[in-house]
Amino acid sequence: MQKRSLVKTLGLTFGAVLLTACASNSDVAEGDELKPLDAAQENAAESGASTETKGVNAQSIESQAVEAQAVAGEQVDAAANEAQAALMETTVFYFDFDNSTIKADSKNSLIAHSQYLAANSSARVVLEGHTDERGTVEYNLALGERRGLSVSRFLQANGVAANQIETVSFGEERPALMGHNEGSWSKNRRVEIKYQSR
Amino acid sequence: MKLMIRVLLFSLLAWQAKAELVIEITQGKQSAIPVAVVPFKWKGEGALPENVAQIVANDLGRSGYFNSLPQTEMLSLPNSEEEVFYRDWELLKQDYLVVGEIDNDGRGGYAVNFKLIDVNTRTALMNQKLTGGAAALRDIAHFMSDRIFSALTGLPGAFSTKLVYVTTNRDRTQFNLNYADADGAREQMIFSSKMPIISPSWSADGKKIAYASFENGRSEIFIQEIASGKREKIASFKGSNSAPAFSPDGKKMAMVLSRNGNPDVYVMDLATRKLKRVTKHYGIDTEPQWMPDGKSLIFTSGRIGNPQIYKVSLSDLKPKRITFEGDYNARARITPDGRKMVMVHRNKGDFHIATQNMKTGAVQILSSETQLDESPSVAPNGSMVVYAASMGDRSILAAVSLDGEVKFRLPSKFGDVREPAWSPLLK
């Protein structure tokens, strides 16, 4: 039993590491030659498919565990759901100035959203990209767009279908806080995940 | 009490429609030419709706080229050349004098006769009669300022031009696109939305403006005819559609689209709506602006990791970086003579408006008293730049001459003012 749950934990962790690895690969791919949208989506779909497979592997380990010890399995499931729900409570992800790289502390939550979206193919999200007020209006509109696209690629790399995601940038037009200082600015440089349907 | 409430209600209603820009000149030119615009004699009945001499004096003073003598300091108030006692004006060290009178034009409008007099040579340099309809007194005044400015500086006057700009409330739930005289007077709301409006820009003939509106949930480009208010949606591709810029001949529009995922610069033929992609890079490419010859564009790109200005010829599409000073250079605008570029500039500190000489690359910072400066727009005679800046916790319009010597502000009494665009010279 102990061995099984260790395998399970390892399996899940391994899956998560792979997912993260894929995601950061796609981040690196940002630096490559620009691909037209169709190609980029195809790639995303491919990598999405491969990560999905890993997700299934992880689940099959889990279902074995459930067979062996039904009661404990249910408890673990409930705990996992709770953990996912807790992680999904975070819907706003912050960025550094003039930067669209996803921060390390955002990734666990984003993976939880990915898992939920991958498991619920009818769920739809809008990713709203925002910036702080510094710099120019149009550059910030583009920067907000890139932040949304970064999160979109991360979700797709973690098994979410492209058609579940829409990105929209508001640039500096919709600040969360109105102050003219770093305290407000750091809260305004953000991507908000908004569920259109669950 | 009832009256007070009514007044309060009235002013509340009034502020929703009008941002009421009020000019405050904060710095004048050392070498400004002293000029006295004497109050004009009104030969008709009742009170005139506008103080023409004051409008002309303000126009000239605001341009930075002139120092207008306040009416309270004048020793005499002549209305014709014959009434001028030159020693009064020599004593006050005035170089030029404007005198005149206003009469009914016999058709329900006004006729203004004025003379521009050189105090040193004691001769009239200009003797003109301007007429206009009942509502045109302010137009006549600005037109008179244009004539005087042009006669004494050799540059076209830009006092009869217009500004468009966006006003918004603190909660960012109401956005108005406004149209006003270049001095902020006669503001009119020409489009209003609960969603953001950004990047208004003029067509070269001054008849249309293009802007990006979020009214349908994301940015789309619209063209609006000023006279009729007629709107047309020009670009609503997947993703963002933004940063419109009419070509000098008015046939094309440069714009930024993220239809392929990443924001890139495109040029649309307005008749056929065919798109030509200008930039292809994984970095941000935005804020395209036409060079005066219409053969190349300048734009902002984040391709080296921070925003810098690039120039691209529309024939070879090979971008060349042109800004090297500072860690943030964006939203460049070219002066009408093509000699200078005005841009948002930062060098490890605050964001300011700067110029860069297109030939030598020399950078000069124009604004230093305001903060978070953005959205510079150049007057069509190349004399001033209007821009948005932060003052206290509000966003205001400010202006600075291209040599940095003259500065004025156009703060609004309520809300934030952003994204100014100065019209071309209007015929």
Cα–Cα distances in Å, from A45 out to A39, A116, B263, B282? 10, 17, 21, 19
Instruction: Please judge whether A135 and B307 are an interchain contact, meaning their C-beta atoms are less than 8 angstroms apart.
Output: yes
pLDDT at B390: 85
Confidence band, pLDDT 50/70/90 cuts, at residue B21:
low
Q: What is the distance in angstroms between the Cα of B284 and the nearest Cα belonging to chain A?
A: 6
- Identify which of A32, A35, A170 has the shortest CB distance to residue B196: A170
Chain A residues contacting B via beta carbons under 8 Å: 30-37, 40, 98, 133-139, 141-143, 145-146, 149, 167-171, 173-175, 178-180
pLDDT tens profile B182-205: 988 999 999 999 999 999 999 999
Strands B41-42 and B96-104: what pairing?
A: parallel
pLDDT at B81: 95
Instruction: List beta partners, residue B285.
Output: B301
Q: Buried b / exposed e across B253-280, counting CB within 10 Å, b at 16+?
A: bbbbbbbbbbbbbbbbebeeeeeeebbe
Share of chain B above pLDDT 70, in %: 93
User: Residue A101: left (phi > 0), alpha (psi -120 to 50), or beta?
Assistant: beta
Kindly identify which residue of chain A lies nearest to residue B279, measuring between CA atoms.
A34
Kindly identify which residue of chain B lies nearest to residue A139, measuring between CA atoms.
B286
Confidence band, pLDDT 50/70/90 cuts, at residue A81:
confident
- Identify which of B281, B284, B390 has the shortest CB distance to residue A180: B390
Which of residues B19 and B284 earns the better pLDDT score? B284
Strands B275-277 and B285-290: what pairing?
A: unpaired
B344 to chain A, any CB pair closer than 8 A? The answer is: yes
Share of chain A above pLDDT 90, in %: 54
pTM: 0.82
Residue B319's domain spans which residues?
A: 162-422
- Identify which of A98, A145, A173 has the shortest CB distance to residue B263: A145
Residue at which a domain ends, from B153, B176, B208: B153
Q: Report yes or no: B94 and B119 within 8 Å, Cβ to Cβ.
A: yes
pLDDT at A21 over 50: no
pLDDT at B370: 80
Residues on chain A touching B300 (C-beta within 8 angstroms)? 136, 138-139
Instruction: Please judge whether B282 and A33 are an interchain contact, meaning their C-beta atoms are less than 8 angstroms apart.
Output: yes
Residues on chain B touching A30 (C-beta within 8 angstroms)? 282
CATH number for the segment(s) A2-197? 3.30.1330.60
Q: Report yes or no: B251 and B269 within 8 Å, Cβ to Cβ.
A: yes
In whole numbers, what is the pLDDT of chain B averaged over residues?
91
Residues on chain A touching B282 (C-beta within 8 angstroms)? 30-34
Kindly list the domain boundaries of chain A, sorted by start residue.
2-197
Same domain, B138 and B235: no
Does some domain include residue B228?
yes
Same domain, B128 and B53: yes
Same domain, B231 and B319: yes
Report the number of secondary-structure helices (H) and strands (E) in chain B. Answer: 4, 31
pLDDT tens profile B50-61: 999 999 999 998
Does some domain include residue B54?
yes
* The length of chain B, given as a count of residues: 427
Q: Mean of the pLDDT values across residues A106-131?
A: 96
Q: What is the distance in angstroms between the Cα of B330 and the nearest Cα belonging to chain A?
A: 7
Pull the structure tokens for residue B350.
């605050």
Half-sphere exposure of B341 (CA within 13 A, CB side): 29
Same domain, B122 and B208: no
User: Which H/E stretch holds residue B101?
Assistant: strand B96-104
Query: Which of B35-44, B88-97, B174-183, B389-398 bottoms out in mean pLDDT, i.e. has the lowest?
Result: B389-398
Confidence band, pLDDT 50/70/90 cuts, at residue B407:
confident
Does some domain include residue B24?
no
pLDDT at B123: 95
B153 to chain A, any CB pair closer than 8 A? The answer is: no
- Identify which of A32, A139, A149 has the shortest CB distance to residue B286: A139
- Identify which of A37, A137, A169 has the shortest CB distance to residue B199: A137
pLDDT at B272 over 50: yes
Same domain, B263 and B175: yes
pLDDT at A77 over 60: yes
Residues on chain B touching A180 (C-beta within 8 angstroms)? 371-372, 390, 393
B242 to chain A, any CB pair closer than 8 A? The answer is: yes
Number of domain units in chain B: 2
Pull the structure tokens for residue B41.
């004699």
pLDDT tens profile B358-373: 999 999 999 877 888 9
The CATH number linked to B147 is 3.40.50.10070
Does some domain include residue B306?
yes
Q: Report yes or no: B243 and A169 within 8 Å, Cβ to Cβ.
A: no
Which of residues A127 and B20 earns the better pLDDT score? A127
Does some domain include residue B14?
no
Pull the structure tokens for residue B330.
């964006």
Residue at which a domain ends, from B89, B121, B153: B153
pLDDT at A83: 85
DSSP string, B345-405: EESSS-EEEEEEETTT--EEE---SSEEEEEEEE-TTSSEEEEEEEETTEEEEEEEETTS-
Q: Report yes or no: A51 and A22 within 8 Å, Cβ to Cβ.
A: yes
pLDDT at B31: 80
Does some domain include residue B10?
no
The CATH number linked to B210 is 2.120.10.30
Strand arrangement, sheet containing B384-391: B24-27, B407-410, B394-401, B384-391, B371-378
Report the number of secondary-structure helices (H) and strands (E) in chain A. Answer: 6, 4
B326 to chain A, any CB pair closer than 8 A? The answer is: no
Best of B169, B174, B219, B277 to mutate (most A CBs within 10 Å, chain A): B219
pLDDT at B117 over 90: yes
Does some domain include residue B295?
yes
pLDDT at B265 over 70: yes
Q: Report yes or no: B408 and B372 within 8 Å, Cβ to Cβ.
A: no
Within a 10 A sphere around the Cβ of B171, how many other Cβ atoms?
8
